[in-house]
Structure 1
Amino acid sequence: MSILRIELRRSAAIGAAVLALVVGVAALYLAPGRWSQGWMSLTLTTKEYLLLLWPLALAAGAWQGRREHRARVGELFDTTPRSPVRRMLPVLVAMGAAVGLAYLLVVVAGGLRIASTAAYFPPDVVAIVLVGAFSLSAAAWLGLGLGRLLPALVTAPALAVAGVLLVFFTTIMRPDWLGAVLSPAYGSNPFYPFQTIDPRVTGALAIWMGALAFTGVLLLVTRSPYARVAAVLPALLGLGAGAAIVPRDEATLIAPVDPVARELVCTDDAPTVCVTRVNANVLETLTPLAREGLAVLAKLPDAPTQVHEDRRSFALPDEMPAGNDDIITITVRIDDRGGLAHPASVVPEIVLSLGVDFTGECQRNGAVERAAAYYLLGREPVSDVGVVPGMISEDPLLNAEAVTLWRGLRELPSSEATARIAAVRAAILACRDTTGMLSR
Structure 2
Amino acid sequence: MSRVFGIELRRSAALGSAVILLVVGVLVLFFAGETLFTTGWMQLAMSQRLFLALLWPVALAAGAWQARREIRSKVEELFATTPRPRAHRMIPTLGAMGVGVVAGYLAMALAGGLWIVRTARYLPVQFFAVTAVGLLSLIAAVWLGLAVGRLLPSPATAPGLGVAGLGLLLVIPGATRPRGWLALVFSPIYEMNMPDAYTTVPGRVSLSQAIWMTALAVAAVLLFASNGWRLRVAAVLPVVLGAALAIAAMPHQKRVVVDAIDPVARELVCEPQVCVSRVHSGLLGEVTPRAREGLKILAKLPAAPTQVHEDTTTYGPPMYPAWHDDVVLLTVHADSKAHLDNRGGTAAEVVAGAFASKPNCANFAGPAERLAAAYWLIGSEPVARGDYDPAAIGEAVQLWQGLRQLPESEAMAKIVALRQAALACTVEKGQLSR
Tell me what 1:128 maps to: 130
Structure 2 residue 49 is the aligned partner of structure 1 residue 55: no
The answer for the alignment partner of 1:415 in structure 2 is 409
Work out whether residues 283 and 339 of structure 2, in 8 Å CA contact, stay in contact via their aligned partners in 1: yes
Matches within 5 A, 1:167-206: 167-170=169-172, 173-174=176-177, 175-206=179-210
Q: TM-score, normalised by structure 1?
A: 0.90
Q: How does 1:268-347 map to 2 (within 5 A)?
A: 269=272, 272-317=273-318, 319-342=319-342, 346-347=346-347
In the aligned structure 2, how far is the partner of 1:17 from the partner of 1:170? Answer: 26
**Structure 1 stretch 332-341 or stretch 28-37: which is displaced more?**
28-37
SS, match of residue 33 in structure 1? coil
Deviation (angstroms), 1:378: 1.0
- Native 8 Å contact 1:207 1:238 kept in 2: yes
1:147-195 CA distance string (max 9 Å, x none): 1111122111111111112223436754232122111223422332122
* Matches of 1:199 and 1:14, distance apart in 2: 32
Task: Kindly indicate whether residue 86 of structure 2 is the aligned counterpart of residue 84 of structure 1.
Answer: yes
Pairing 1:253–2:257 present:
yes
Indicate conservation of the 8 Å contact 1:289/1:343, yes or no: no
Change beyond 3 A, Cα 1:361–1:149: farther
Contact 1:362 1:431 in 2 (8 A): yes
**1:266 alignment partner, SS class:** strand
Return the match for 1:230 from 225, 234, 255: 234
Q: TM-score, normalised by structure 2?
A: 0.91
Partner residue in 1 for 2:13: 12
Tell me whether 1:162 sits opposite 2:156 in the alignment: no
CA displacement at 1:212 relative to structure 2: 0.9
Asked whether 1:263 is paired with 2:280, we answer no
Residue 243 (structure 1) aligned with residue 239 (structure 2): no
- In the alignment, the residues of structure 2 paired with residue 54 and residue 60 of structure 1 have an alpha-carbon distance, to the nearest angstrom, of 10
- What CA distance in whole angstroms lies between the structure 1 residues aligned with 2:395 and 2:106? 56
- Separation in 2, partners of 1:322, 1:278: 18
SS at match of 1:254: coil
- Counterpart Cα distance in 1 of 2:430 and 2:39: 43
* Cα distance, 1:402–1:91 mapped onto 2, change above 3 Å: closer
4+ aligned runs moved over 6 Å, structure 1: none
Distance 1:62 1:299, change over 3 A: same
Question: Residue 94 of structure 2 aligns to a residue in which SS?
Answer: helix
> Is the 1:325–1:356 Cα contact (8 Å) retained in structure 2?
no
How many Å separate the matches in 2 of 1:63 and 1:42? 30
Deviates more, 1:340-349 or 1:95-104: 340-349
5 Å-filtered alignment, 1:103-122, equals 103-122=105-124
Q: Note the 1:62-101 alignment, pairs <5 A.
A: 62-101=64-103
Per-residue CA deviation, residues 82-136 of structure 1 (Å, 9 max, x unaligned), is: 1110111111111111111211111112222222222111122222222322221
Q: What is the CA–CA distance in structure 2 between the aligned matches of 1:79 and 1:226, rounded to whole Å?
A: 21
Task: Kindly provide the amino acid, as one letter, of the partner of residue 237 in structure 2.
Answer: L
Which amino acid is the alignment partner of residue 429 of structure 2? T
Q: CA deviation at 1:366?
A: 4.0
User: Per-residue CA shift, 1:332-353, capped at 9, x if unaligned?
Assistant: 1112332222288611212224
Q: Can you give the 5+ residue segments of structure 2 that lack an aligned partner in the other structure?
A: none
Q: CA separation in 2, counterparts of 1:219 and 1:144?
A: 9
